[in-house]
Amino acid sequence: MKENRTTPGELVLRGITFSYIGLLIVLPVLAISFKAFDGGIARLWQEITLPQALFSLKITLILALIITIINVITGTATAWVLVRCEFPLKREVNAIIDLPFAIPTIVTGIMLVALYGPRSFIGMFLQNKFNFEILYNSPGILIALLFVTFPFVVRCVQPVLQEMEKEVEEAAQTMGASPLQVFFKVIIPTLLPSIITGAALSFSRALGEFGSVVIVAGNIPFKTQMAAVYVFGEIESYNVAGATGVSFVLLACSFAVLVLLNFIQYWRRRHEER
């Protein structure tokens, strides 16, 4: 920066961008937060603890946690294979990883119904043999959530793994560390921040996922009704208070994840500077 004084041009630019963010992002978030406390905390609590609302929040949190754990394992393994192993069609496989981000969520839902639905081969087979439904049931929701969140951990871990020097591992091995020791003492600590970042992103995405879930889960209260679908139902039936209550809880969770992510980034930067 040439000078420390702010020029009028800079001020105008700052004014325009701040107004845009204010109108598009800050004001809407403030509006819903104020709305949540419109009728007092007791009213908000009452809306959140309605059995149906509470159940939708509970199943959403549980399923989001499960897919996050699965994604940590499969995502790290995928990143590892993409960076360290050689196999045919590697470039194409690498491109496919992004497919869930490119495909609209509602299309994901339709694809899963086509594959596992009651009219499909797999759906009919499971129905007839085991009297088991994948769709309109939690396994279906799990598959949908796994699909839409798959790229997060892979894409967070992959660049770190690429930069990580093999020499460090080899040095540890030469000094007599066993492969397991190398894995837990050298590789995991290096990858951990990026794994947590990817996990947090998939968790937060799973909490709010709507498009694929609304198709795959159906809308069965106390069975498959996820929080976002519950909120949608309350909006459709003009129950603003009910929609606001559950929205507020989901927003609070997303905020917590966002703060965690920013903290990791801050910590990483300070760590690198040292």
CA 177 to chain centre: 36
Out of 56, 68, 78, 197, name the contact with another protein by CB under 8 A: 78
Write out the binding residues for another protein, residues 49-68 only, by CB under 8 A: none
By CB under 8 A, residue 87 contacts another protein: yes
Least Å distance, CB 176 to another protein, is: 20
242 binds another protein (CB under 8 A): no
Binding of another protein at residue 260 (CB under 8 A)? no
What's the CA gap between 3 and 166, in Å, rounded? 44
Contacting another protein within 21-40 (CB under 8 A)? 21, 24-29, 31-32, 35
Q: Quick one: 182 or 227, whose CB is closer to another protein?
A: 227
Which is nearest to 226 in space by CA: 253, 207, 198? 207
Is 17 near another protein (CB under 8 A)?
A: yes
In the window 97-156, what residues touch another protein (CB under 8 A)?
Answer: 97-117, 119-120, 143, 146-147, 150
Among positions 54, 62, 69, 93, the unique one binding another protein when judged by CB under 8 A:
93
Nearest CA among 274, 247, 229 for reference residue 47? 247
Contact present, 212 and 105 (Cβ < 8 Å): yes
- Which residues, at least 6 apart from 44, have a Cβ–Cβ distance to it below 8 Å? 36, 37, 244, 245, 248
Task: Pick the closer one to another protein by CB: 27 or 171.
Answer: 27
Query: CB of residue 109 vs another protein: minimum separation in angstroms?
Result: 8
Per-residue three-class SS string for 55-95: HHHHHHHHHHHHHHHHHHHHHHHHHHHHHHCCCCCHHHHHH
Reading the block at residue 63, the tokens are 């399923």
- Nearer to another protein (CB atom), residue 24 or residue 175: 24
Question: Of 254, 223, 247, 231, which is closest to residue 55 (Cα–Cα)?
Answer: 223
Instruction: Tell me the C-alpha to C-alpha distance, in Å, between residue 76 and each of 107, 202, 227, 253.
Output: 26, 13, 28, 24
Among 5, 51, 86, 129, binds another protein (CB under 8 A): 86
Give the Å distances, CA to CA, from 167 to 91, 162, 173, 181: 25, 13, 10, 15
Does residue 273 touch another protein according to CB under 8 A?
A: no
Among 43, 65, 196, 232, binds another protein (CB under 8 A): 232
User: Contacts with another protein in 151-190 (CB under 8 A)?
Assistant: none
Asked if residue 251 binds another protein (CB under 8 A), the reply is yes
Assess 231 for contact with another protein (CB under 8 A).
yes
Q: How far is the CB of 212 from another protein (least distance, A)?
A: 9
Among 54, 62, 69, 84, interactor with another protein by CB under 8 A = 84
